[in-house]
Structure formats: C-alpha cells, structure tokens
A and B are shown apart, each in its own frame.
Chain A
C-alpha cells in the first residue's frame, strides 16, 4: 500500500476533535455538558448502528434494544449492588450482548428492508416490555435514585456534570479505539466481504450467518455499555430513552455520517442531536422539520455521508482533482464502487436491492 498523506490530516482532525472534547466541559455550562455526555452515549450506540448497517449490511432500527438492556442492567447494579462504574459497564455489556444474542435468530437470516422491520419490532417490543415490567424496570416511571457512580474502586464519587462527562468520554474513547482496531483486523475484512457478496463468501467456505451473528452480539455489547453510561450520566432511566425516535435518530445519524465509518457515525449522531436539541431551541416545536431538512440536504450534498465530504475536501486541499489522486482517497468506508461518482448512501445493500 502506498502511504497516504491524507491519513495524517485525518489523524490531526481526530486529535483536534479529542482535544476539543476534553476541553469542552470547561467552556460550556453544566447543562450543555450533560447534553454533550448524552451525545457521546448516543454516539456510541450510533457506532454500533453504523457497523451493523454499513459494515455488516444489516440496517437496524433495533439497537435501542441492547441499549435499553444495558441501561436497566446498569441501573439495577447501581441501585442494588455497587456504585462502581466498571462493574456497571461490564454488566451493561453482558446484558446488551445477551439481548442481542437472543435476537440473532430473528435478524441474521433476513436481509435489507426486512431487517429494518424486524429490528423495529424488536425495539418497540423492548420499550413495551420496559414500561410494563414494573417490578424490574419501574414501568413508565423508570428507575431513579441510584447513587452517583465511582469509576473504579478507590476513586471518588463523580458528583458533577463535568466529571461524569469526562468519565463517559474516557469509556467511549477506549471502546472506539477497540472498534477501530477490530475493524482493521481481518474480522473487519470478512464482514465487509459478507456485505459485498454473500454468495461468494459461501462459495469460499465462509459461514456468513456465523459472522453476522458475531457482529450482532458484539454491537449489542457496545450498545449495552452505552446504556450503562447513560444511567451514570443522567442517574435516571425510563422507557422514553429508547423510543422509536431514538432508533430513527440513530439510523439517521449513521446514514448522514456515511455508513460504515466510525468517525462518521459519531459526527452524524452529534449533528442530529445538535439539530434536535440546540437548533430546535431557536425554532421551538420544529425539531422534526429541521431533522428532515438536514437529511434532505446531506442526501443531496454528501450522498456518501459527511465523511466523504471531508475526504473530498482533503483531496481538494491537496490540489488533486485528478482521477489518479481520487483513486488514492482511502477506501476504508468500503461503500463506494467509484470515488467521485455520485452514489447514494447505501443502506443494507446486501440482498435488499438497494445497492443495485
């Protein structure tokens, strides 16, 4: 592989974003800090949605399921067992993975739009169960009153929004690093190959269903961790945190960010939440309209997601609109048959006919 100078720009951008994220709680008020923390949490779920949708080719509206499982597990641990963040996060991951494992038989045999419908049903059933199962989840009142979290044994209680935000940032950043590393191993290669051509995978002796099941369980664990973090951030959990709007926002964020891109999923989720929670403050009651507008604009301007825009900008900055340099733009997103060609963001290309 030839060295790509643009990689340094990407890394510089990532470092700048991380520095900004660390500095943010000293620059904004506590309320905004807690919103940022929740954005990070949803961004982590958004990454799990983007991996399933873009890398594995299973477009999902159901990641709120493992998200909720992790949140309630984390909340129950916080209420009844111990206030240690590490324990809550691990419990959340286990609950999310277990929940996802239970949905595997429903999800991995379907493709494309059918996956959307099945996962939508899974998400809705989860919310319904959460609001009915009062003895465990507190019903629609939710669970509240868990003590403030301590990250690990021996550390102090996180009793300010800033500390809870930084705790969330550390956990999310660590998990993103793990995700990026895993996607660079052959595991990411195999998943992308499954999405590209499943029949060819089978003809080469790969058990596609097994790989997809592993992806579903792993992303379920990610969403479960996000659930445990959500509880630490807002010290409260209720079914309203996992409604259909949340699923739709997450998928929207992943698509806007350019599916199959981890950074894009975070950026897309942040953008969606910014539009919903901040911009709509200026136009009260018009959040759905603004979100619709955002989606239309990104679909037209950046058909492969905002990340493709940044890649294009990088190519432009380097004075390269030549086809040769366009070809060297990193192909990591994996979703593009031809850089430069306006290809719509593909949601669930495998077998859904969306990509053809």
Chain B
C-alpha cells in the first residue's frame, strides 16, 4: 500500500475479505488531477460512503471503479482479479452496477422495459428469455417486483421520459439492482428526492442483502452516518480520512478539510 495510508483514522470492517481494492488510483483531466493516488478498500457486503466538498473527486472515483473512465495510474482489484484495464461492459458483467448523479435511464422505454433491459444479461440474454414463459418468469416478474420495491409499481407502464426526476432516480436504482450486482455504486441517490422518497430509499438500502456491497457518494451526512459502516473523506482528489462514522464525525482532519473548503 502506498500513498495516504498514514491519514487513515482506523481500519473498518477489516474482518471481511476485500471485494474492491483500489491502489494509488489517479485520474487527470488536462492539468486538473481529479483523483490523486487514492487508496480505497471496500469489503464484501460493506456500506461505504464517499464524502467531501464539491470537486473532491468522488464522482470520478465512482467512474474509475465502474469503468466509465480509465485510470491514468494505479490499480483496481475486484473480487480477486485485476480489472484496471477492463471496460465498463466487462465490469458490469462481473457484478459492478452503478447509478448516476443525473439519472441515466432509457427515456423512450417504459419503466418496466428499462428494468428488463437492465436485467437482460443477468437473465441469460436472448437464449435465456427466448420463450414467452421464460421471458415472464426471468425478466417481467422480477422487473415488476423490483419496481414495487423502489415504489414505482403504479408507473411501470409509463415511459421513462414522463417520470419525475425522483422517480427516474429510483428507476435507475431498480435497474442497477436488476443486474444482481455484488458492488453497487450510487452517486448521490438521495439528491432531488422528496421526504417520502428518501425514507423509501433508506429502507431499501437498509434492507438490501449483505451480499451486495455499496459504495455511495452522498451529501446528506445524516443518511451516511445512519446507513454506512465506513466513511471515506476526499478533498481535492486526495484521501483525507477513512473510518467508522463515529471516528469520522470527530476527526479534526475532516473538520479541517470541510472548513477549508467552505472558506
């Protein structure tokens, strides 16, 4: 391990085996270094939050893990293999799913069709769903169940373009879950949601199987502290601290990072 290991407040959930290990991860955009030598470890089934002021590199870090963006340096190991050079398709097939800050859904498809297309690979592709019976049992019924879980059952037949922002955000979560991921990357899942929708999201994440690890970026610290086992603080692309919510809450380094960012 290299880089900022010394700033670690303390190890969290060190008992569980690592699902994701990022080592000295770096990404530059021109002269801007969005992510600068970050080390990150997500254990299997862990709830891990990334927090930090705007521009800290949180979303870029999710992009790097999901494969949407290639790393300029460092290495990513996932489920015991080096995935640094794999593209987003391969990583998705290995069980990394994500949602976006601005919900990415297929706007001309209905909510149900969105989840079905997202579950397509998982259901075995064309071969897996070629008969109407299999299509129903492997795609349609699980899709409707997922929509019910995120609270979109009554708009399942509505085109995604006609859903509200909050509904699209929840739809994208259903789509991410439809791929049966082992690692779920959520980019500000609560942003723009109504109070009731946030409640539903919290329930969903709290009841999510522990076979799924979650790495989420979130500005609402009350949610982060309530849901997560580990919190990692980033600032200016660097890792400031990583630890349990209690440790992070009282860490002077974290307060300094936020205070400087505000000032």
Contacts and interface: CB of A to CB of B under 8 A. Distances in A.
A109 interface: no
Contact of A205 (B107, B126, B161, B179): B179
22 contacts: A2-B157, A186-B120, A187-B126, A189-B117, A193-B113, A196-B108, A196-B109, A200-B106, A200-B175, A202-B68, A203-B92, A204-B92, A204-B175, A205-B120, A205-B179, A327-B158, A331-B108, A335-B108, A336-B108, A337-B108, A337-B161, A338-B162
Interface string A199-221: 11111111100000000000000
Contact of A204 (B109, B120, B161): B120
A277 interface: no
Interface of A: 1-2, 186-187, 189-190, 192-193, 195-197, 199-207, 327, 331, 334-338
Interface in B217-251: none
A197 B98 contact: no
- Residue from B66, B88, B135 whose CB has the most chain A CB atoms within 10 Å: B88
A209 to B, nearest CB: 9
Interface in B84-140: 87-89, 92-93, 97-98, 104-110, 113-114, 116-118, 120-122, 126, 129, 135
A337 B118 contact: no
Given A186-B120, A203-B88, 4 more contacts: A186-B116, A203-B104, A205-B120, A331-B159
Contacts of A195: 108
A280 to B, nearest CB: 36
Contacts of A204: 92, 97, 117-118, 120-121, 175, 178-179
Interface residues of B, number: 35
Contacts of A2: 157
Given A204-B179, A205-B89, A197 B106 contact: yes
Contacts of A197: 104-107
A338 B93 CA distance: 33
A187 to B, nearest CB: 8
A193 B89 contact: no
A203 B68 CA distance: 8
A274 to B, nearest CB: 30
A202 B93 CA distance: 10
Contacts of B158: 327
Contacts of B157: 1-2
B98 A203 contact: yes
Enumerate the 8 nearest inter-chain pairs by beta-carbon distance, A residue then B residue, closest first: A205-B92, A334-B108, A196-B106, A205-B121, A200-B104, A193-B106, A202-B88, A337-B161
B141 to A, nearest CB: 15
Nearest to A193: B106
A334 B175 CA distance: 19
Contacts of A199: 68, 88, 104
Given A189-B117, A193-B117, A327-B162, A202 B92 contact: yes
B107 A196 contact: yes
Given A202-B87, A202-B88, A336-B108, A186 B126 contact: yes
Nearest to B178: A204
A186 B97 contact: no
A203 B120 CA distance: 12
A335 B106 CA distance: 11
A205 B106 contact: no
A334 B179 CA distance: 24
Contacts of B89: 202, 205-207
Contact of B109 (A189, A327, A337, A338): A189
A200 B105 contact: yes
B105 A203 contact: no
A253 B99 CA distance: 38
Contact of A189 (B98, B113, B121): B113
A187 B109 CA distance: 13
A202 B121 CA distance: 11
B117 to A, nearest CB: 5
A190 B119 CA distance: 12
B113 to A, nearest CB: 6
Contacts of B161: 336-338
A192 B92 contact: no
Given A205-B92, A205-B179, A189 B105 contact: no
Contacts of B118: 204
Nearest to B113: A189
A261 to B, nearest CB: 13
A334 B161 CA distance: 10
- Residue from A202, A205, A334 whose CB has the most chain B CB atoms within 10 Å: A205
A335 B120 CA distance: 22
A253 B88 CA distance: 37
Given A327-B162, A331-B159, A338-B162, A193 B109 contact: yes
- Residue from A190, A196, A197, A200 whose CB has the most chain B CB atoms within 10 Å: A200
A212 to B, nearest CB: 13
Contacts of A186: 116-117, 120, 126, 129, 135
A336 B126 CA distance: 27
Nearest to A335: B108
A132 B89 CA distance: 43
A199 B92 CA distance: 11
A202 B91 CA distance: 9
Contacts of B104: 197, 199-200, 203
Interface in B129-172: 129, 135, 157-159, 161-162
Nearest to B99: A203
Nearest to A204: B118
